[in-house]
Structure 1
Amino acid sequence: MTQPEAFFEPGFAEGRAQLHTRDGGIWELPVPRWSADAGPGDLRLLARCSGATLDVGCGPGRMAAALSGRGVRALGVDVSPSAVAMARSRGATALNRDIFSLGGGRRWQHILLVDGNVGIGGDPVRLLWRCRDLLLPGGTVLVDVAAPGEGLRVTTARLVGAAGAGGWFAWAVLGFDALEVVAAAAGLRVAETWFIEDEQRWQAELVHADAWAAPGRVA
C-alpha cells in the first residue's frame, strides 16, 4: 500500500497495522513480512527481473536488497524517509522520492509495484502510464493486485496502528478482475498472471501494448 511518511516510524512498524478507507474497508497490513527478507511470493516476481529494476514504494527495501544481492541493478523509491533509511541499512540503493518526480527517462527494464502499491495516488491508470514511460523497450511492470471481485475502487485511506491514526491520503484498490482494462487504459497489456496460494497473492506481468492510446481514467 502507499504509505505516508510516518508509516515506518516506531509504533506503525511494530505490531498490528491496518489501512482504513473512507468507504468502510479495513485491510490488515503484513508489516512484519514487508520488513523481513524477500519471501517465496517476492522471489517469484524477482526471478523475472534480469536487468535494471525500479521498486516503487519500496518500503524497508526487501525487494531492492534481494536484487542487489543477486547482482541486479535495483533502485527503491519511497516517500517515507524512515523507509528509505531502513532500505539503505540493509544494503539497498534507495531514494526519498515519488515516481512522478523521478527523472532519467526510459532506463528501466522492470518496474515493481508490490504490496498493493499499484494504488499509490488513487489512480492506477496514471501510475501505470508513468511506469510505462520509464520502461525500456521490451520492459515489464510486475504487480501485486487484490483478489478477484474487488474491481477498481478509488478512495481515500489512512493508516491505523499502535501510534494511532495517520492522515488521509488518496488510494485505490485494484482487483485481479479489473487489471486488464486498467492496464489497457495505460497503454499496457497483461502478458501473464498467477496466484501464490500460500500467501494469497495475485500477481501479473504487464508489457507495452501494441496499440498506443492517450492516457485516460477508468471510473
Structure 2
Amino acid sequence: MAPGTAHAWGADRAADPYSRALGTGRGPLFLRCADGRVLPLEIERWCARPDSADTAVLRRCRGTVLDVGCGPGRIVADLAGRGCRALGVDAHPDAVRRAREAGGRALCRSVFDRLPGEGRWGTVLLLDGNIGIGGAPERLFARLADVVAPNGRLLVEAAGEDVDERMAVHVCDGRGRCSAPFRWARVGVNALAAAAANAGLEVTETWNMRSRVFAALRRA
C-alpha cells in the first residue's frame, strides 16, 4: 500500500478477491509471493467475533483505541459494545463499510494520511499481519510513534516465526483471481523489536495465544 493511494487489495473492486471474500465472510484467500509461496489469510476469523487471543489484546487496551487496518471491524465493533471510544482505519472501502455495519466506527483512509487525534490515542492496534502495511515496518512504526499518545501503547501482532521479509505480493482466491501487486512485510518478534527501536519505541511485553504472537510497545 503506497501512502495516500487506494489500497491495492481493492484497486479493481469488481474483480478484487478481498472484496468478494468480505461479502461472503469466507475464503480461501491468501497472499501469493513472487517466489511462489502462498500465505493463508484468515478471512473467516477476521469476519467472526473476537476469539480468546483477540480478547487478551482487548484486555490490554487503555484509553481511546485506534485499530490500524481494521478490516471488517470485529475489534472496533466489540470495543464499541463495551462503551470504549475506538476508531478503525482501513484503506479498503468494503472493509470499512462492513466494519460500520458491524457497529464500529471506521474511516476509509491510509495510515500514512492525516488521522484524527494524532498524538492522543491511548492504544494503537496493529493486528492480523498489518505490521506488513507498506512493506517497511520501520517506516510504519515511525508513523505510529507520532499517532500514539506520549504515555500510550502499541499492541502489535508479529509473525509466528523468526522472519524478517520485505516482498511484493498479490491477494488471491481459490479461483485464480488475484489483486494487483503491492509491497508487504512479515516480521517475527526479534525483527519487530529492531524495527520499533529505530522509531524510538521499545517492547515492554510479549505473549503467545492460539498460535499467535503479540507484543506491547511504548515510546522509549
| TM-score normalised by structure 1 residue count | 0.89
> Cα distance 1:187–1:146, how it changes in 2: closer, same or farther (>3 A)?
same
In structure 2, the partner of 1:14 is 26
In structure 2, the partner of 1:53 is 65
> Cα distance 1:181–1:141, how it changes in 2: closer, same or farther (>3 A)?
same
In the aligned structure 2, how far is the partner of 1:23 from the partner of 1:142? 30
The list of structure 1 runs, each at least 4 consecutive aligned residues, that deviate by more than 3 angstroms after superposition, is: none
Q: Which amino acid aligns with 2:145?
A: R
- Equivalent residue runs for 1:89-104 within 5 Å: 89-103=101-115, 104=117
1:122-158 Cα shifts (integer Å, max 9, x gaps): 00011011111011121011011112321x1111111
* Partner residue of 1:200 out of 202, 211, 216: 211
Contact 1:14 1:162 in 2 (8 A): no
Quick check: 1:25 aligned with 2:30? no
Q: Which amino acid aligns with 1:172?
A: A
Task: Using the TM superposition, name which of 97-106 and 138-147 deviates more.
Answer: 97-106
In structure 2, the partner of 1:217 is none
CA RMSD of aligned residues (A): 1.7
Contact 2:17 2:178 in 1 (8 A): no
Task: Using the TM superposition, name which of 35-44 and 95-104 deviates more.
Answer: 95-104
In structure 2, the partner of 1:112 is 125
> Cα distance 1:177–1:99, how it changes in 2: closer, same or farther (>3 A)?
same
> Cα distance 1:11–1:44, how it changes in 2: closer, same or farther (>3 A)?
closer
| TM-score normalised by structure 2 residue count | 0.88
1:9-54 Cα shifts (integer Å, max 9, x gaps): 2256532111111233311111100000111111111111121110
Quick check: 1:129 aligned with 2:142? yes
What are structure 1's unaligned runs of at least 5 residues? Answer: 210-219
Number of equivalent positions: 206
Q: Which amino acid aligns with 1:145?
A: A
* Partner residue of 2:203 out of 179, 187, 190: 190
In structure 2, the partner of 1:212 is none
> Cα distance 1:206–1:92, how it changes in 2: closer, same or farther (>3 A)?
same
> Secondary structure of the equivalent of 2:119?
coil
What are structure 2's unaligned runs of at least 5 residues? Answer: 2-6, 11-15
In structure 1, the partner of 2:81 is 69
Contact 1:4 1:79 in 2 (8 A): no
